[in-house]
Structure 1
């Protein structure tokens, strides 16, 4: 193979990102027949189908998956050479940033982020997605700009920055009938608890430590997110163990009290994560700086 049309590589990249030939054509402002012809040429060039049609869209073959990083390296290098990465001006930009995060991060960050953006970047839009098993692929493809949380499963090709360390507190209703200004381990084991079935790594850390330390916890209610659980606790005698920053946000917004957890729980690092493809992108660098400023331990 001596040469290849760079436009064909752009079609390959967009099919991978959109999982669709028509989606790639739309993104590149091509007709669908032109995108189909490009894919046919690529298949002939590499001697491999590259993508196969499935119920969830055009999925890459193993050979196609192996081409993704080198193809993007070529496209990124060309982008730099041709000067397509202009300086980013938040005051005039109309860019849409997409961030993956837990419901806790939404509560802790979004109000501060909106207050910042309405002054510094009034035309920028934000879209929020939940953390999921698909987050790494979204970061790699550019469908998401950032992910916030504890994500130890990310492999090579990703950058990360520590935002803050998170610890835990117990939350209970202000008028809990049996617990006053202290919570003992005996009381913790005797009361009914709410637990969270999803929303990042915090519930898993609590579950793991309770099991490891042999602590008894009677689970009376399981709910998918922290916000719903918090307002159930307000009007019942249930307890819930939550990240401290969430407790800080909720304090004063309901009839809650926060007490220390009566056994040792490790803190954990909350980080922002991004793919190496966007490490030098001016807009992404600006957004990462804003979030770091808003959420760092010194903020």
Structure 2
């Protein structure tokens, strides 16, 4: 390990995190052949295969697994060391930020965030990944920089900041027979619904609220994402419930009919979350501020 070029540490960290030469190449902004050559250099320097073939993928060797936690800490420490005493120059900033959110948030937020970031920081790449299980590990190990969504308390090492509140609204395809007139609860349950659940659970907050009115809806299909639900709603006679910001985009792009629900449902409090080690990182603070403004353009809050 003493012979290892320190410039390879970051590449090794990314390779072990991704477990894929192709995915690592994308994060490193290198070609796949160049990343493969980098892996070969790492193997020669360490005297270990590092990643070995397992079926169609790659898995780390025992030695690679043993070094990974300390390696990642070293990479983060080196990055922080280089930023000490430097004023942030976003115009010359070269950095990839990974943000995790569900699809209904990525749609409205991504375009607004790109419009804010790209003109002033062309070297910044925004990498959105799909929502996963609520777990602090990706924030802790740096796999993701920001978590965006309805976030519960994740412990003392995770910081959160509110972005905006949203609510659920009903959505119908353009020209749906129920699009005319007020949507009463009885009309709402007269047509089958599409439900959204990552875990495949059909029953949700609306069903609990309908119980209080002695009503029950029919669930025709359960899908894992709001994008899937929107596609089904727009091409069938089913009703769907979607976050309002996302639903309003559908009105613009497809002419969907959006209506208020005549029933009380919990508001969606959307926040961003990050690991405490990023609190004072100038680039990370800048990104959090841009995200807050993208989520709420009328905000005058200038804090980190």
Task: Pick the TM interval, shorter chain.
Answer: 0.7 to 0.9
Residue 135 to residue 129, structure 1, CA distance change in 2 (3 Å):
farther
Matches within 5 A, 1:72-221: 84=84, 86-133=86-133, 136-152=136-152, 154-198=154-198, 207-213=203-209, 214=211, 215-221=215-221
Q: CA separation in 2, counterparts of 1:27 and 1:292?
A: 38
Q: CA separation in 1, counterparts of 2:142 and 2:220?
A: 41
Q: CA separation in 2, counterparts of 1:31 and 1:77?
A: 20
Q: CA separation in 2, counterparts of 1:138 and 1:181?
A: 47
- Corresponding position of 1:253: 253
Residue 233 to residue 18, structure 1, CA distance change in 2 (3 Å):
closer
* Equivalent residues of 1:104, 1:226 under 8 A apart: yes
Q: CA separation in 2, counterparts of 1:284 and 1:175?
A: 45
Q: CA separation in 1, counterparts of 2:98 and 2:254?
A: 31
Matches within 5 A, 1:35-46: 35=46
* Equivalent residues of 1:172, 1:234 under 8 A apart: yes
Residue 124 to residue 296, structure 1, CA distance change in 2 (3 Å):
same
* Equivalent residues of 2:149, 2:272 under 8 A apart: yes
- Does 2:289 correspond to 1:293? no
The offset of 1:192, in angstroms, is: 0.8
User: Scaled by the length of structure 2, what TM-score is found?
Assistant: 0.71
Q: CA separation in 1, counterparts of 2:297 and 2:261?
A: 21
* Equivalent residues of 1:194, 1:222 under 8 A apart: yes
User: Residue by residue, what CA displacement relative to the aligned partner does 1:34-71 show, whole Å, maximum 9, x if unpaired?
Assistant: 5579xxxxxxxxxxxxxxxx9985599xxx8xxx6x99
Q: CA separation in 2, counterparts of 1:239 and 1:170?
A: 7
Residue 35 to residue 71, structure 1, CA distance change in 2 (3 Å):
closer
- Corresponding position of 1:45: none
Extract unaligned runs of 5+ from structure 1. 38-53
163-172 or 229-238, larger mean C-alpha shift: 229-238
What do you get for the CA RMSD once the two structures are aligned?
A: 4.1
User: Residue by residue, what CA displacement relative to the aligned partner does 1:1-45 show, whole Å, maximum 9, x if unpaired?
Assistant: xxxx9x9xx89988985789xx9xx999984465579xxxxxxxx
Residue 34 to residue 27, structure 1, CA distance change in 2 (3 Å):
same
User: Residue by residue, what CA displacement relative to the aligned partner does 1:193-223 show, whole Å, maximum 9, x if unpaired?
Assistant: 111233xx9x98x943234332411111223
SS at match of 1:143: coil
* Equivalent residues of 1:168, 1:242 under 8 A apart: yes
Q: CA separation in 1, counterparts of 2:78 and 2:232?
A: 54
- Does 2:226 correspond to 1:226? yes
Extract unaligned runs of 5+ from structure 2. 25-36, 49-53, 300-304
- Does 2:270 correspond to 1:274? no
SS at match of 1:234: helix
